[in-house]
Structure 1
Amino acid sequence: MSYCCGASKIGMVGTLRQQSIVVHHVPMLYCPVCHDIEVHPAVKEEFELVVEYAKEDRVKETTLREVVNPDMVAEWKEFCVSFQEDGDLEAILREQIDHSLDLLRISKILSNDEWGEELKVRLKVLTERLKKVEQQKESSK
């Protein structure tokens, strides 16, 4: 599991720009609070090789699709608390809020005030993002 801003990152497969190369179908970990993105550790070496080959070949776009298979994605889902596949951001945000509330309870038990404050900030950001998603959903009806 990967943590950022006091709680867990969301796993997803998407597009990432490295230098001047655009790489599609990249498994990554994303923080919904600070927007930190990192390539999933299981494919980091392959990602770097693909970028290097693309630079050598002067290719501006490439993909990791040949490297990634369904079994790997299933394994990555276990690595993350949340994994965004179908674009249902509302469900992911609710799951992240629940997880952060659980961690906040643990921080209180451990009397870890600093961690508790980080989690409160995270909860505030997640709640604001959830409200925006709900408003967008309402306005599109």
Structure 2
Amino acid sequence: MSFCCGASMIGVVGTWNHQYVKVHHVPLLCCPVCQNVIVHPAVKEEFDLVVEYAQEDQVKEITLRESVTPEMIDEWKEICVSFQDDDSERVIREQIDHSLDLLSIAKQLEDQSWEEDLKNRLRVLSLRLRKLEENKESSK
């Protein structure tokens, strides 16, 4: 599990632009608060190799689909606290629940800095959830 801004990052499979090469079907970890995104450590070496080969062959767009099996994705889903699929609202609610759990621990430990980080994270997540709910209502 990876952490950023005091709590967990969300797993997602998406497209990543790296060194002028667009790579599709890349397992990523992203922070819903600060928008930090990294390539999942389990495929980082494979990702770097594929990008290097693409650059040598002057290919601008490639995919990791052949390297990433459904079994690997299922394994990553188990490692991540949340794994984003088509239900963004569910993922944000999970992140809010985890942040609230961590906030109670931070309060018990009397860790003011961690408490503030978690409160900031909760503010951002709540705002995102509110926007999702508003968009959902307006699209009805």
TM-score by length of 2: 0.99
Q: CA deviation at 1:70?
A: 1.3
1:91 counterpart letter in structure 2: R
- In structure 1, C-alpha distance between the alignment counterparts of 2:112 and 2:87, rounded to whole Å: 33
Name 2:83's counterpart in structure 1: 83
Give the Å deviation of 1:79.
1.6
CA distance, structure 1, for counterparts of residue 104 and residue 75 of structure 2: 28
Matched residue type, 1:84: Q
Structure 1 segments (4+ residues) deviating >4 Å: none
| Structure 2: tracts of 5 or more residues without a match | none
Number of aligned pairs? 140
Show the counterpart of 2:109.
110
Whichever residue aligns with residue 28 of structure 1, its letter is L
| 2:67 aligned counterpart, secondary structure | coil
Matches within 5 A, 1:54-73: 54-73=54-73
Shift of 1:74: 1.2
CA contact (8 A) 1:2 1:79 kept: no
Cα root mean square deviation, aligned: 0.6
TM-score relative to the length of structure 1: 0.98
Aligned to 2:130: 131
Quick one: distance in 2 between partners of 1:22 and 1:30?
Answer: 18
Q: Deviations over 1:24-54 (max 9, x none)?
A: 0000100000000000011000000010000
Identical pairs, percent: 66
Deviations 1:81-134 (A, max 9, x none): 00012x211000000000000000000111111001000000000000000000
Shift, 1:78, TM fit: 1.7
Gaps of 5+ in 1: none
